A and B are shown apart, each in its own frame.
Chain A
Amino acid sequence: MNEKGREQPQNWIKGDESGADMLKRVWRVRPFLLPPPLHRVPLRVGNVLELVGPSPSAKTQILIQTAITCILPKNWNGIHYGGFDHLVLFIDLDSRFDINRFSQLLIYRIIEPYGESSRDYDKALYDLCMARFLYVRCSDSFQFLQTLKTLSRRLDKEKEVHGVSVHLLMIDSIGAFHWMDRASTFLSLKENSRKKLFLQSVSEAVVQDIKKLLQVHPMLVIATKSVIFWNKYSTASVEVKGSFMKNNWEERSSRNVTRNNQHFQYREYMPSVWQSFVTHRIHIRSSDDHSVTSKCQNSSFYLLEWLLPRLSFSDKIVVKDAGVFVDS
């Protein structure tokens, strides 16, 4: 009786985890800030961020830039890169990923602390970073589901090889197979036809598989979505429309641009199971008033707006050779 009485308070005092364990646990789920232009809202693993925009609107460029920040180490050879030092998994549903652009941006980032003049870059760092970038290409919904179902084991293997875990899951164009799934009525051997639409079933399976994957490998999910249905926005005074057949860009930028009551120019087409899975949303559209002062030949301008959580201002972003920057 005496021993039992002593055991209980002892267990109560003993504690569940040591301080080091607690720090490790909290560190993993701590919110962090992504580099600009996604820096307005802190995100944590388990969040799902959706980038919506028409084509072209720099969505893939933003993904590439964020991936590079993730795979760079914090410090290398005494230079502080400020990377997250983790792996990135990129699922390419659009089949449009350009590895040369990725390589170009990575080299820009590696050379950046050394100044403009240097030409050669640290090959060992480049190889390390490139090996940390994992890529899968799927050409239909079934391949996507196959990949998701077998991903957990493969990520474990990669973790053993590299020593660090996957931190970011990027899906380029979650709506890529929308039309094919919509029209797909694959043969069901049952007598009664399915009650649910095929599109619905696929989306549910995808969301379920990603949720399961996130339980085992906590990651931040960033998905791009392109616009399929374009609604004409009918607001009171809109003086400019998105026309790009104009030959002179100067002529467009000097026009008077006023937009009252920004309406979203697109219609949501993903099923509700995906829409409720998304925790954050950004809308990117082309900007019509570029400042004429920028003489950069090779740069494009876009407007980035946080829809979820709703922020009252939009960032102006510019895409240059060296990456995507916020134009202030």
Chain B
Amino acid sequence: MAPLNSLEKEYPLIDSNFQIFCASHAIYSVEDFLLHDIDALFTSATNCSSSQKLNQGIHQLLSIIDALHPPLLNGLQLVEDARQNKHVFSTGCQGIDALIGGGLRVGQLTELVGPSSSGKTQVCLMSASTVAKHNCSVIYLDTGNSFSPQRVAHFIGQSSDYVSGNQNVLDRIICYPVFDVYQMFDLLHQLKNNLRSKIGKSDRHVKLLIVDSISSLITPILRGSGPQGHTLMISAGFLLKQLAHEHNITVLVTNHVVGGDDGNSKPALGESWKSVPHVRLLLSRDCGGKVCNMSIIKHPAMASGRTATSVRLFV
């Protein structure tokens, strides 16, 4: 946020006199102003000379803040927005759709947890192909070189009648190889800017964003003594959720498992990450079998532990 002297041009009330007054209270920017007690400022302004102008300056700052704050909505507006924008996309597998109430919901961050080769990437590829078939773009951030165009083509070819349309469908899935967390942040910020300024034709119809897998990006930075690793993780979560909500995208991320205290496995990324995704699903595959199980760890409307037993996800 802006330091006060940069606001002087646009708002003449914030002149140097006002800035000196603020400096006496250790307020140098709008952020400092937010952390300060406004009533105390008003009382000290009345004690100074030219208190009228100082009061006006304080009111001016308050109105600047007023213009920036998030809007106050009511329930009816939320329902209307959900009805118009926040649709549900099928994942391509009926069993999964039935388990999570229709499919992946726009505006929500869904997390797939599971040990390796439990089918997480397959679910991602299947969802990507299903969403792409509905004329929407998909952005796939691939951290482990696991994106397979042949598999996607197979999914598309499986349930469509014509062959020639496949090329168009595949064009809508854009895959970015990402190998560290800063690259991911760069890409996400770029995507946010493109969507906000509405440039870049390919980004306009993005409806699904997949990060496979987010844990391989974040786990390396979580070690270490400072809070920076956790901060980056939580910031990434907030950025994904903001993208999902403001630009009506559904986000799908994958996570792996680590050993827990008592020998059982638990999802990676720790306790703080647990409150970031909207929906958390656990995948497991019986040894050598073709049958995958999926159960709900967390869902806003379904009970945890609810399972889709013996969902034949992939043939």
Contacts and interface: CB of A to CB of B under 8 A. Distances in A.
Interface string A77-101: 0000000000000000011101111
Given A130-B76, A241-B261, A298-B303, A179 B70 contact: no
A41 interface: no
A139 interface: yes
B163 interface: no
A18 interface: no
A297 B306 contact: yes
B272 A135 contact: no
Interface string A224-246: 00111110100000000101111
Interface string A185-221: 0101110000000000110110010001000000000
Given A54-B274, A104-B301, A145-B34, A136 B75 contact: no
Interface in B214-239: 226-228, 230-231, 233-235, 238
A188 B28 contact: yes
A95 B278 CA distance: 9
Contacts of A138: 70
Interface stretch (B90-98, B125-133, B153-161, B262-270): B262-270
Interface string A129-154: 11111111111101101110110001
A300 B299 CA distance: 11
B7 interface: no
Contacts of A307: none
Interface string A167-197: 0000001001001101110101110000000
Given A189-B28, A241-B261, A245-B282, A95 B245 contact: yes
A148 to B, nearest CB: 9
Contact of A127 (B26, B76, B227, B238): B76
B69 interface: yes
A76 interface: no
B interface bracket (residues with beta carbon within 8 Å of A): 35 or more
A183 B266 contact: no
A179 B234 CA distance: 7
Contacts of A188: 28, 32
A261 interface: no
A138 to B, nearest CB: 6
B82 interface: yes
Contacts of B12: none
B19 to A, nearest CB: 11
Contact of B305 (A96, A131, A212, A300): A300
- Residue from B272, B282, B298 having most chain A Cβ neighbours under 10 A: B272
A139 B245 CA distance: 11
Contacts of A133: 74-75
A277 interface: no
A55 B274 contact: yes
A11 interface: no
B82 A149 contact: no
Nearest to B299: A56
Nearest to B284: A247
A55 to B, nearest CB: 4
B38 interface: yes
B31 interface: yes
A244 B35 CA distance: 42
Interface stretch (B60-68, B140-148, B164-172, B182-190): B60-68
A121 interface: no
B271 A230 contact: yes
Contacts of B272: 179, 228
A274 interface: no
Interface in B238-286: 238, 241-242, 245, 257, 260-262, 264-266, 271-272, 274-275, 278, 282, 284
29 contacts: A55-B274, A56-B297, A56-B304, A60-B300, A94-B275, A95-B242, A96-B300, A98-B301, A100-B300, A101-B301, A104-B301, A133-B74, A135-B72, A140-B238, A142-B34, A145-B34, A146-B65, A150-B65, A150-B69, A158-B72, A180-B231, A180-B234, A183-B227, A184-B231, A189-B29, A208-B37, A241-B262, A244-B297, A297-B306
